[in-house]
């Protein structure tokens, strides 16, 4: 079988984040599958088709791309950020596992990209410089109890927390609930970084203490980084503060409650 | 003050991972500071000096680069992978916080890169496709009790675990101890991915069940990804299996013990 499927990460926004490896994969592909706004970032090329689908149709898009590749084409599935972090690579794997046997024989490649938390961390200083976790608050793929449990255990472990998909239409109140859970486990002064549209022209960050963090400060283009009790804040006159995780972690977590 | 300091991530190996943003920063710098093997990856340029230092001298390197920038130069500190993940950005921030007041006024920028776990995950499938954490087993910057506590809580939370710096000269037995701790908390069948030299010509991965994971399978160029009880393995005839995290997490963690 000559079919090939490449899951390509574009990075968090502008072309300056696109790796040469990703650029070559996009060049090579006969067809590109993806969420419309991501496909729009890829310059049109003669003879290459673009098949756009809605943000919520990950599994359907993965299946369509796999079927196309299985017919002998070189197909790219385009993802924002890194395709392996809360993005298309897992949907493609899921489709392969549940799909026809021949899909397992396809040449499948994942091309990594700069994921949102790395771009937000770079804007803020080095808040992910020591142990951390990445959690998604997204939609209905995970029971709310599990989200809360993970937040509590992450705080107890002294991990810095990167929150993806912090705002969902189905649960607009969920982010405020997450801050509430974390306020029970962490000092009120822990810095929270709201990174909006990282890697895009309108990128901006805001840093507030956990006590002042509110769900309304985030939108669907925000990635949030919540410090641990080790996290340091460097104030600078006339400049945004720098937030970082010391390389030497003492892990002193305030007792819950 | 006209001085400028840019902390640049080269990505995990070859030039195909270097973003255009990072390439431009390297072009612009008058001086490059870094660990020798990372500096060797950057093509020599007329009029640009390279100041190499040992891997263990992060803080000293950061201070030297900041002092150079404070004298009015455009200086780059070069890091493998992403400078914000267990790398140079935190050391630079630490040096700024403890250094002379004028260092806070410097124009400081962090340029993100593909960090090792993303490159290893891409080779394996999509093991970081849902909630995960990144922990460093490195050296003496963290008490061993804290490492073990974090491993236990991460497993209890159902997080996939990426382990950086799994092998240290001072504690060669530490990785075996980590697997021992995890075997008490996770099913024996959980897939463990050993990613060696990700992004380099000699890159390779090995996937074994947790019950068979041994410290001797890793070296200093290895990043390890340990699945959760949700992690799936897709076997493929004549090909390495694909490992992925389902997008829908049920978080069923085996009770400890």
**What is the pLDDT, as a whole number, of residue B255?**
33
Nearest CB partner across the interface for B85, out of A96, A128, A141: A128
With a CB-CB cutoff of 8 Å, which residues 62-101 of chain A face chain B? 82-87, 89-94, 96-97
Query: Which pLDDT value is given to residue A209?
Result: 98
Burial B202-218 (b: 16+ CB within 10 A, else e): ebebebeebeebebebb
Residues of B in Cβ contact (< 8 Å) with A118: 82, 84-85, 112-113, 115
Residues of B in contact with A104 (CB under 8 A): 234-237, 239
- A23 near B CB under 8 A: no
Say whether pLDDT at A202 is over 80.
yes
Give residue-wise pLDDT tens across range B188-220. Answer: 999 999 999 998 989 999 999 999 999 999 998
Nearest CB to A133 within list B85, B119, B133: B133
> For residue range A17-70, what is the model confidence (pLDDT) as tens digits?
999 999 999 999 999 999 999 999 999 888 999 999 987 799 999 999 999 999
Whole-number percent of chain A with pLDDT over 70: 95
Question: Of A114, A157, A237, which has the smallest distance from its Cβ to B153's Cβ?
Answer: A157
With an 8 Å Cβ cutoff, is B195 touching chain A? no
Q: For B116-244, CATH number?
A: 3.30.950.10
Whether the per-residue pLDDT at A181 is higher than 50: the answer is: yes
pLDDT value at residue A186:
98
Q: How far apart are the first and last CA of chain B?
A: 59
Per 3-state DSSP, chain A is made up of helix, strand and coil in percentages (nearest 5) of: 30, 25, 40
- The class (CATH top level) of A4-111 is alpha beta
Looking at chain B, which residue has its C-alpha nearest residue A111?
B122
pLDDT of residue A195: 97
pLDDT below 50 — which residues of chain B?
A: 251-257
Separation of alpha carbons B209 and B202, rounded Å: 23
Neighboring chain A residues of B83 at a CB cutoff of 8 Å: 122, 126
Residue A139 has a pLDDT of 62
The predicted structure's pLDDT at residue B113: 98
Q: B103 and chain A: CB distance < 8 Å anywhere?
A: no
pLDDT digits (tens, 9 = 90+) for A119-149: 999 999 999 999 999 999 976 667 889 999 9
- Contact state of A112 with B121 under an 8 Å Cβ cutoff: yes
CA distance A87 to A95: 14
Q: Between A and B, how many residue pairs show a Cβ–Cβ distance under 8 A?
A: 251
The pLDDT-based confidence of A1 (bands split at 50, 70, 90) is low
> Alpha carbon of B27 to those of A199, B48, B49: distances in Å?
20, 9, 12
Query: Cα B171 from chain centroid?
Result: 18
The answer to whether residue A226 scores a pLDDT higher than 80 is yes
Q: What is the ipTM of this complex?
A: 0.95
State how far residue A157 is from chain B, nearest Cα, in angstroms: 5
Q: Where are the domains of chain B?
A: 4-111, 116-244
Q: Is B252 on the interface with A (CB under 8 A)?
A: no
Question: Chain B contact for A144, CB < 8 A?
Answer: no
- The residue in chain A having the minimum alpha-carbon distance to the alpha carbon of residue B81 is A114
Helix (H, G, I), strand (E, B) or coil at A31: strand
pLDDT bucket at A168, cuts 50 / 70 / 90: confident
Probe site for chain B from A114, A143, A145, A152 (most B CB atoms < 10 A): A114
The string of DSSP letters for chain B reads ---EEEEEE-BSSSGGG--HHHHHHHHH-SEEEEEHHHHTTSPP-TT-EEEEE-TT-HHHHHHHHHHHHHTT-EEEEEESB-TTSSSHHHHHHHHHHHS-GGGGGSEEEEE----HHHHHHHHHEETTSSSEEEEE--TTSS-HHHHHHHHHHHHHTT-EEEEES---SS-TTHHHHHHHHHHTTS-TT-EEEEEESTTSTT-EEEEEEGGG--GGG--TTEEEEE--TT-EEEEETTEEEEEE--SS----PPPP-
Of A144, A3, A145, the C-alpha closest to A76 is: A3
- Inform me whether the pLDDT recorded for A256 exceeds 50: no
What was the pLDDT predicted at B139? 61
For B237, counting Cβ atoms within 10 Å of its Cβ (0-12 exposed, 13-18 middle, 19+ buried), the class is: exposed
Q: Residue window 213-232, chain B: list those with CB within 8 Å of chain A.
A: 232
Q: Which of B15, B154, B247 sits opposite A141 (nearest CB)?
A: B247
Interface touch B126/A246, C-beta < 8 Å: no
**Would strands A132-136 and B204-209 be described as parallel, antiparallel, or unpaired?**
unpaired
Task: Report CA dihedral (A244, A249, A250, A252) to the nearest 10 degrees.
Answer: 50
pLDDT of residue B254: 34
Q: Which of B55, B114, B125 is nearest to A88 (CA)?
A: B125
pLDDT for the residue numbered B249:
64
> Euclidean distance between the first and final Cα of chain A, in Å?
59
Strand positions, DSSP E, A42-124: 49-53, 74-79, 107-111
């Amino acid at each position: 079988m000559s079919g090939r499927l490449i899951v390509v990460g574009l990075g968090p926004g502008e072309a300056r984040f696109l790796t040469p490896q990703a650029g070559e994969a996009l060049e090579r592909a006969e067809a590109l599958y993806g969420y419309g706004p991501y496909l729009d970032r890829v310059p049109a090329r003669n003879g290459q088709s673009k098949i756009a689908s809605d943000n919520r149709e990950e599994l359907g898009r993965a299946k369509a791309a796999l079927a196309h590749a299985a017919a002998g084409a070189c197909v790219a599935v385009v993802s924002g950020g890194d395709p392996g972090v809360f993005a298309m690579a897992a949907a493609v794997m899921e489709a392969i596992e549940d799909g026809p046997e021949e899909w397992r024989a396809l040449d499948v490649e994942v091309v990594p990209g700069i994921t949102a938390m790395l771009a937000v961390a770079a804007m803020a200083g080095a808040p992910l410089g020591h142990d951390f976790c990445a959690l998604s608050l997204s939609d209905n793929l995970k029971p709310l109890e599990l989200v809360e449990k993970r937040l509590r255990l992450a705080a107890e472990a002294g991990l810095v927390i990167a929150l993806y998909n912090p705002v969902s239409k189905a649960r607009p109140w969920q982010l405020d609930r997450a801050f509430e859970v974390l306020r029970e486990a962490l000092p009120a002064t822990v810095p929270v970084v709201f990174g909006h549209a990282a890697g895009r022209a309108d990128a901006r960050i805001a840093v507030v203490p956990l006590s002042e963090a509110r769900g309304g400060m985030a939108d669907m283009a925000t990635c949030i980084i919540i410090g641990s009790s080790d996290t340091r804040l460097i104030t600078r006159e006339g400049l945004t503060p720098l937030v970082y995780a010391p390389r030497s972690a003492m892990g002193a977590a305030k007792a819950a409650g």
